[in-house]
Amino acid sequence: MKTGTGITLRKQAQFFRGPRGFAGPSAFVQVLSVERKPSFGLQVLVFSLVCAAFSTIYITQPVLPVLQAEFHVDETKASYTIAAVILGIALSTLPFGVIADRYPIKPIILTGGLAVSLCGISAALATGLTLLIVVRFIQGLFIPSLTTCMAAYLARSLPKESLNVVMGSYVSATVAGGLGGRLLGGWVHPPLHWRYAFVSASVLLLAATAAAFRWLPPEDRGAAAETRGVPFAYLLRRLLPIYLVAFSAFFVFSSTFNYLPFYLAGPPFFARTEVITLMYLSYVVGIIIGPLAGRLSNRIGNGSTMILGALVFGLSVGATLLRSMVAIGVSLGGICAGFFTIHAAAAGALNRRLSDSRGRANSLYVLFYYLGGTIGITLSGYAYGFAGWFGVTTLAWAMLLVPFGTGLSESGRRGD
């Protein structure tokens, strides 16, 4: 029986009805999630879990100077508290992609959620920076169990016409999590301490994990059994353009926000740290754009949506060269809109094109995504040192030719 058919899940939903016919939350999510339009309940579960997972990644970013002073280290070593998480994600995303294709997702989510939360508590208790970095690395190793595996679950469980919309919610959750982690780390520190931010994030993740394990609709085991384990080499040959879109888009996005504080702290702005932190609120645009981009992709196609996103992204990057804080604030909103439009369209195009090995395919996507961010920050650092902010924007424009060109190619495909 096909994945996501109304008959299977409606029968399962009946199991949760009480003696008076009341359907509990699990039945509610299961019944509604199989309609032609994805249910609000399912989107809430996905959003909560992915958002909580991503909030753990960037907690230390706004307090890097505080860590530097507290542990008496240089800027580079303090930044390892972010780099270690990203490295862990990059190393484990492919193995979790294979696991997601072979085993039921819900136990994987439960195990990963517990591991990441326990690491968060350990980070709060760490007495030295080296221990904190090690714990953060382990935390990164388990984050794909919540993100990559959730993407594979959605691709396996939803009809194609619903997938773009729910993947848009997934993308919005990554935005909200990235913003929430930064704000949590920055705003909790002044009245309390950065350690409390780890505790808060761990509690939120435990709650989201428990809700997902309890109320996510069961997978169709027949669909899982159909998985044949397509080789990674085949997926690379077939989907490389989309992977390069993920690489290039996050290359530009991560570089822009990583060097933004240096740009705004210098002349002619001389912005205070509090003002620079407020600029991260532009991430809110991405929360709204994610689902809208999914619906737009259904209307005009994933390829055309990528083109539109690349144009908005490029124009907004250029607008940051204007010597006005207001203009930069607006341009950052445009950068978020362009990036998350590209991201949602690429994720939708990837999963709509596959009928098997979605866990592996999504793990490769995540791998390219984070490699793009890591390499982008490195190369843009050289560009910033050589030509300042103009060097960063020039490199960004060159990289945005990738999603623009891929969008042109994808727009010529049927059913993109």
> 51 vs 289, which has greater pLDDT?
51
For residue 378, tell me if it sits in a domain: yes
Q: Is 48 inside any structural domain?
A: yes
Whether residues 196 and 339 share a domain: the answer is no
Q: Are residues 209 and 250 in the same domain?
A: no
Residue ending a domain, among 227, 254, 277, is 227
Q: Domain containing 130: what range?
A: 39-214+222-227
Does one domain contain both 203 and 271? Answer: no
Q: pLDDT tier at 169 (50, 70, 90 boundaries)? A: confident
Please indicate, yes or no, whether residues 176 and 131 belong to a single structural domain of this protein.
yes
pLDDT of residue 222: 53
Q: What is the pLDDT of residue 174?
A: 82
pLDDT of 247 > 90? The answer is yes
CATH number at residue 370: 1.20.1250.20
Final residue in a domain of this structure, among 167, 194, 227: 227
As given in the structure block, the two tokens for residue 186 are: 């920055």
Q: Which of 15-24, 225-234, 322-331 has the lowest mean pLDDT?
A: 15-24
Q: What is the pLDDT of residue 414?
A: 53
From CA 4, how far away is CA 272, in angstroms rounded? 51
15 part of a folded domain: no
Give the pLDDT confidence score for residue 106 in this predicted structure.
92
Query: CA-CA distance, 375 to 362, in Å (whole number)?
Result: 20
CA distance 398 to 151: 29
Residue 216 to residue 43: CA distance in whole angstroms: 10
Q: Are residues 131 and 91 in the same domain?
A: yes
89 and 168 share one domain: yes
Please report whether residue 19 resides in a domain.
Answer: no
Number of domains in the chain: 2
Mutual orientation of helices 75-102 and 129-142 as an angle, nearest 10°? 20
Please check the confidence at residue 26 and state whether its pLDDT lies above 50. no
**209 and 248 inside one domain:** no
Whole-angstrom Cα Rg for the chain: 21
Contact 198, 124 (CB under 8 A): yes
7 within some domain: no
User: Do 147 and 272 lie in a common domain?
Assistant: no
Comparing CA positions, the residue from 305, 319, 317 lying closest to residue 403 is: 305
Interval 276-300 mean pLDDT: 81
Between CA 255 and CA 94 the distance in angstroms is 24
Pair (114, 249) in one structural domain:
no
Domain closes at, from 205, 227, 249: 227
| Pair 168, 314 in one domain | no
Domain-located, residue 301 = yes
- 202 and 244 in one domain? no
Averaged pLDDT, 185-192:
69
Same domain, yes or no: 200 and 245: no
Q: What's the number of CA atoms in the CB half-sphere (13 Å) around residue 312?
A: 20
Share above pLDDT 70 across residues of the chain, in percent, rounded to a whole number: 84
Question: Is residue 15 within 8 Å of 26, Cβ to Cβ?
Answer: no
Is residue 198 in a domain? yes
Q: Which two tokens stand for residue 291?
A: 């689902």
Instruction: Evaluate whether residue 351 is within a structural domain.
Output: yes
pLDDT value, residue 265: 79
